[in-house]
Structure 1
Amino acid sequence: MGTYVVTGAASGMGAAVADSLRQAGHDVIGVDRDGDDVIADLSTAAGRRAAIEAVTARAGGVLAGAVLAAGLGPARGRERTIVEVNLLGVTELLEAFRPLLAASDKAKVVVFGSNSTTATPLVPARAVSRLGRGDVDGATRIIRRRGAALSGPVAYAASKIAVTRWCRVHGTRAEWAGAGIRVNVITPGPVMTPLLRSQLEGATSKNVRAFPIPVREYGTTDQLAQWVMLMLSPAADFMAGSVITVDGGTEALLRARDWPRAVPLRAVPRVLWRMYRAPKEGQIARY
């Protein structure tokens, strides 16, 4: 049994994951702005520092894993807040928790992304690039130019693209995968949470109901929690930087021919060319 930190643990998918971990006998440090073991607002730098300090004090030097489920939906007029929670509320916490995770044996990290990363049009590549460089102010200015009707969904999708890329880039590096920490992303589609219920009952209900889901039903928090538990288990020992989509088929419907795609010769990464200089028999290549 181990100690896990779960952000967004007071409701929705985060609560379902925290409950599943506790039922399995693990200790859980829940983080949420609305009340849990650690009360913190991840939309502010001070709130993120407070969360880091409180979790570090409770963890006893070791974390078996972390589930970053806290997030804000595509609310109009809250572009910067969305980015702060969905991106910095993950990356800053994980950077701070990395020594605690490295102190464990094959620690697992699951970050909640979203299938909005592949289903939302008109997301400015420049905004995502700015987020990747840590320029939240610059990215927010670019996002707001999309206008009030689009800036909320665009901020949400941009933040989820940026955090997913962060996990794929960092999750395969020596200080993460090489230190025994498995970082992976789960990207849900519409899941019946308080957020989705409010959207179905609000002014955007017609648009939400029109969103295509081939299986013709919404996901449940219990279903997503079971996927996360699998990604926290030894079954995920051979996963690093992976993105698991659980969205009822929407991503496949909209982007069926976009992935997988053969790598053009001009875009072949250096690491693939090194395959021609294979390591000696019995060795594993290090990149």
Structure 2
Amino acid sequence: MGVYVVTGSASGMGAAVVEKLRSAGNTVIGVDLRSADVVADLSTATGRRAAIDGVLAASGGTLDGAVLAAGLGPAPGADRPALIVEVNYFGVVDLLEGWHDALASAERAKVVVFSSNSTTTMPAVPGRAIRAMLAGDSGKAVKATRLFGKNAPAMAYGASKIAVSRWVRRQAVTARWAGAGIRLNAIAPGAILTPLLERQLATPDEAKAIRSFPVPIGGFGVPSQLAEWVVFMLSDAADFLCGSVVFVDGGSDAWFRADDWPRAVPAVRIRGYLARMKEFAARA
């Protein structure tokens, strides 16, 4: 049995993951705005620091795994883009950096970050916002989304999920993470029947847009299904899973991008590949 931390533990997919892990006999430290073992606001640097410190204290400094499920959707509101950027990107990256040593001390720790299939199905997501987040500049990221007016929250959401997925893939293969025995991966859900989606379906205009979105198998996923995938990605069976983004979305990603992936590595990138391999070998 292990010790795990789950952000967004009070509802939706995070709560489903907590239930699965605890039912298997694991110790779970939940992090959320309320009804959690560690109550913290991930939209602020102070709140993220409180989450880091609270979990380290509760875990005794060793974590067998982490599930970063806390996130905000693209609801209307002038302040929404900033909240989305802070929670969906920095509320993942800052926490994982703060928990790195506790994860490394477990030697075979697993991390699952919640991404989204919006990373590959949403058009016109501003690249400047993605690059700004990866550079650690939240203000610049938010500014880049505000150019889209009323669609700024949606753009901030898409950009935050792309940025955090790229962060996972970039970091997963480094000596700092893979070399420390930590497996970093992401899961990309589609439309999952959470309380948030249920509220959206109760609004006629939103419901029409949601139901018209291509889901080849039809219907919606349920939180317990996603939780099963997460539990697998935390298990010993996932020791060889590293830097992957697993789509669990009813086929939407494949519908939009059947021929986009896999794609061979361009020859021009071979030098960079060899340099990274040399760096990894030197640090391992």
Question: TM class by shorter-chain length?
Answer: over 0.9
Q: Which residue of 2 aligns with 1:65?
A: 65
- After superposing on structure 2, the runs of 4+ consecutive aligned residues of structure 1 that deviate more than 4 Å are 272-275, 284-287
Q: Which residue of 1 aligns with 2:132?
A: 130
Describe how 1:158-197 pairs up with structure 2 within 5 A.
158-197=159-198
Q: Which residue of 1 aligns with 2:225?
A: 223
Query: What count of residue pairs does the alignment treat as equivalent?
Result: 279
How far residue 34 of structure 1 moved from its aligned partner, in angstroms, is 2.6
How far residue 35 of structure 1 moved from its aligned partner, in angstroms, is 1.8
Q: Which residue of 2 aligns with 1:200?
A: 201
Q: Which residue of 2 aligns with 1:235?
A: 237
- Structure showing the higher helix proportion among its residues: 2
User: Can you list the C-alpha shifts for 1:233-254, whole angstroms capped at 9, x where unaligned?
Assistant: 0111011111111000000000
Give the conservation status (yes or no) of the 8 Å contact 2:17–2:230: yes
Q: Which residue of 1 aligns with 2:109?
A: 107
Change (3 A) 1:144 1:269: farther
Aligned identity (percent) is 56
Q: Match of 1:6, SS?
A: strand
Cα RMSD of the aligned pairs, angstroms, is: 1.7
User: Can you list the C-alpha shifts for 1:207-263, whole angstroms capped at 9, x where unaligned?
Assistant: 111111000010111110000010000111011111111000000000111111122
Query: What letter matches 2:89 in structure 1?
Result: L
How far residue 285 of structure 1 moved from its aligned partner, in angstroms, is 6.1
How far residue 127 of structure 1 moved from its aligned partner, in angstroms, is 1.2
Indicate the larger mover: 157-166 or 74-83.
74-83
Query: What letter matches 2:169 in structure 1?
Result: R
User: Can you list the C-alpha shifts for 1:80-112, whole angstroms capped at 9, x where unaligned?
Assistant: 100100001100000000010011030000000
TM-score by length of 2: 0.94
How far residue 272 of structure 1 moved from its aligned partner, in angstroms, is 5.0
TM-score by length of 1: 0.93
Query: What letter matches 1:132 in structure 2?
Result: L
Give the conservation status (yes or no) of the 8 Å contact 2:85–2:141: no
Give the conservation status (yes or no) of the 8 Å contact 2:168–2:184: yes
Unaligned runs of 5+ in 1: 278-283
Query: What letter matches 1:106 in structure 2?
Result: R
Q: Could you tell me how far apart the structure 1 residues matched to 2:271 and 2:185 are?
A: 21
Q: Match of 2:167, SS?
A: helix
Change (3 A) 1:122 1:91: same
Describe how 1:26-175 pairs up with structure 2 within 5 A.
26-77=26-77, 78-148=80-150, 150-175=151-176
Change (3 A) 1:12 1:269: farther
Unaligned runs of 5+ in 2: none
Query: What letter matches 1:151 in structure 2?
Result: A
Q: Could you tell me how far apart the structure 2 residues matched to 1:286 and 1:252 are?
A: 38
Q: Could you tell me how far apart the structure 1 residues matched to 2:281 and 2:178 are?
A: 14
Q: Match of 2:75, SS?
A: coil
Query: What letter matches 1:11 in structure 2?
Result: S
